[in-house]
């Protein structure tokens, strides 16, 4: 068995883990990050890609990459579409901010390249990972592809290992609280080869269900429609998908989507989850290991990056002062944004999705809520401020 000694061990080398490793390296703090996935697996798994202004600022100001500004697409607003009509939510006019369409895979590539450039110790493709002694002298243990066992001894351990986290279970049930909400609908997501149907995102609520029209590149588009979580993609031939999307977007303005060959189909169930506290002894949780949100509000990746920005600050204090109590403020600061995002995502989701068994009252009430929102400058501003992100805490 080989043993490595480091200051901060990180389980999970997705965007959250790599950003934390990068920020700590800039502060002169050693880290080792491990992930059971290979780099190729992570950078070829398609994920959401809307970045808040502070996420963009973090990537650029931290010296990760300016590619988000040259390769990303600034979105100065979105369209809310209901009753067959589109209503623009002007982010710049209402909140003085934009979002950027920049796929999570690109964020990961930028971070992985930055860690490789700077000599960071990141170990992809490990297996049989375990962690232990999180209130004493933490360590990570794993096997490489030849079966050799490796141990990483660390002063602090960070679980940034996603929604199937092994680290979150290290906090005993007597010391944790978990909050959970499962939703009775899912998204049927597609990637297709077609020109963009609109310059920015369209969030659509119709009596047939929700639809989201997004973009990926000039030639590849990402679209979603509300479906049953039990749906099988094999039961959705291309003709059925396009027919349903066109019906949900139909309106008096004659809007139609540009269609093209569909090369990926996925069903994405979603849920809300929070585990508190985010610290136990020398273990800290970040990103999806600590919380998940429905994708409707575009908050998942942004919450993870906000977590590690705060976590890097408190870890630097703890290391510099040799004072683990400096970590106490992490849970409080991070959870302020987490619960704001939970509310915002829940609100967007329930406002735009048709609940199973909805009657005519439910349908008309939703239209009344949307009509009230778009008619109110205060309502539109709340949406714009929430979508583009709240100030750092």
pLDDT at residue number 193: 97
What are the backbone dihedrals phi and psi of residue 391, each rounded to the nearest 5 degrees, phi first?
-60, 150
pLDDT at residue number 241: 98
Strand partners, 122: 33
pLDDT at residue number 370: 98
Q: Which residues touch 312 (CB under 8 Å, ≥6 apart)?
A: 20, 23, 24, 27
pLDDT at residue number 107: 97
Low-confidence ranges of the chain (pLDDT < 50): none
Residues with a catalytic annotation lie at 75, 203, 295, 299, 387
**Separation CA 260–CA 281 (nearest Å):** 53
Tens of pLDDT along 13-60?
Answer: 999 999 999 999 999 999 999 999 999 999 988 777 899 999 999 999
List, as one string, the DSSP characters of 203-260.
EEEETTEEEEE--SSSSEEEEEEEE-TT--GGG--HHHHHHHHHHHH--TT---PPP-
pLDDT at residue number 45: 85
> Chain centroid to CA 285: how far?
15
> Chain centroid to CA 53: how far?
14
pLDDT at residue number 393: 77
User: Residue 323: helix, strand or coil by DSSP?
Assistant: coil
pLDDT at residue number 46: 77
What are the backbone dihedrals phi and psi of residue 228, each rounded to the nearest 5 degrees, phi first?
-80, 140
Q: Which residues touch 243 (CB under 8 Å, ≥6 apart)?
A: none
Pick the closest to residue 383 from 297, 303, 270 (CA basis). Answer: 297
H or E element at residue 110: helix 104-117
Burial of 327 (0-12, 13-18, 19+ CB in 10 A): buried
Q: How many CB atoms lie within 10 A of CB 181?
A: 14
**Separation CA 113–CA 69 (nearest Å):** 17
Residues in the chain: 393
Judge if pTM exceeds 0.85.
Answer: yes
Pick the closest to residue 82 from 202, 206, 197 (CA basis). Answer: 206
**Separation CA 373–CA 88 (nearest Å):** 11
């Amino acid at each position: 068995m080989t043993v490595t000694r480091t200051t901060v061990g990180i389980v999970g080398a997705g965007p959250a883990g790599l950003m934390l490793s990068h920020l700590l390296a800039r502060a002169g703090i050693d880290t080792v990050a491990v992930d059971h996935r290979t780099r190729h697996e992570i950078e070829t798994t398609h994920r959401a890609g809307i970045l808040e202004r502070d996420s963009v600022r973090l990537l650029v100001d931290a010296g990760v990459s300016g590619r988000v500004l040259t390769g990303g697409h600034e979105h100065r607003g979105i369209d809310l579409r209901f009753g067959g009509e589109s209503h623009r939510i002007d982010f710049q006019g209402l909140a003085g901010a934009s979002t950027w369409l920049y796929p999570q895979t690109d964020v990961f590539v930028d971070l992985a390249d930055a860690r490789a450039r700077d000599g960071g110790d990141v170990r992809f493709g490990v297996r049989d990972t375990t962690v232990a002694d999180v209130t004493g002298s933490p360590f990570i243990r794993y096997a490489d592809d030849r079966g050799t066992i490796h141990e990483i001894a660390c002063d602090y351990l960070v679980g940034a290992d996603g929604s199937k986290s092994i680290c979150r279970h290290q906090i005993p049930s007597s010391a944790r609280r978990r909050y959970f909400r499962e939703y009775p609908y899912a998204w049927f997501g597609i990637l297709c080869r077609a020109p963009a149907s609109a310059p920015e995102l369209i969030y659509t609520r119709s009596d047939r269900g929700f639809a989201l029209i997004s973009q990926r590149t000039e030639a590849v588009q990402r679209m979603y429609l509300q479906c049953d979580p039990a749906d099988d993609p094999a039961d959705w031939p291309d003709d059925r998908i396009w027919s349903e999307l066109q019906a949900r977007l139909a309106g008096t303005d004659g809007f139609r989507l540009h269609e093209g060959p569909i090369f990926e189909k996925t069903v994405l169930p979603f849920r809300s989850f929070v585990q508190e506290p985010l610290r136990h002894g020398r273990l800290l949780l970040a990103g999806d290991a600590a919380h998940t949100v429905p994708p409707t509000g575009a908050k998942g990746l942004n919450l993870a990056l906000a977590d590690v920005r705060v976590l890097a600050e408190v870890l630097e204090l703890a290391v510099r002062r040799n004072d683990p109590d400096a970590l106490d403020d992490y849970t409080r600061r991070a959870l302020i944004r987490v619960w704001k995002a939970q509310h915002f995502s829940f609100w967007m989701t329930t406002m735009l999705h048709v609940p199973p068994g909805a009657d005519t009252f439910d349908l008309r009430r939703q239209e009344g809520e949307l009509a009230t929102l778009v008619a109110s400058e205060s309502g539109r501003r709340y949406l714009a401020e929430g979508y583009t992100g709240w100030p750092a805490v």
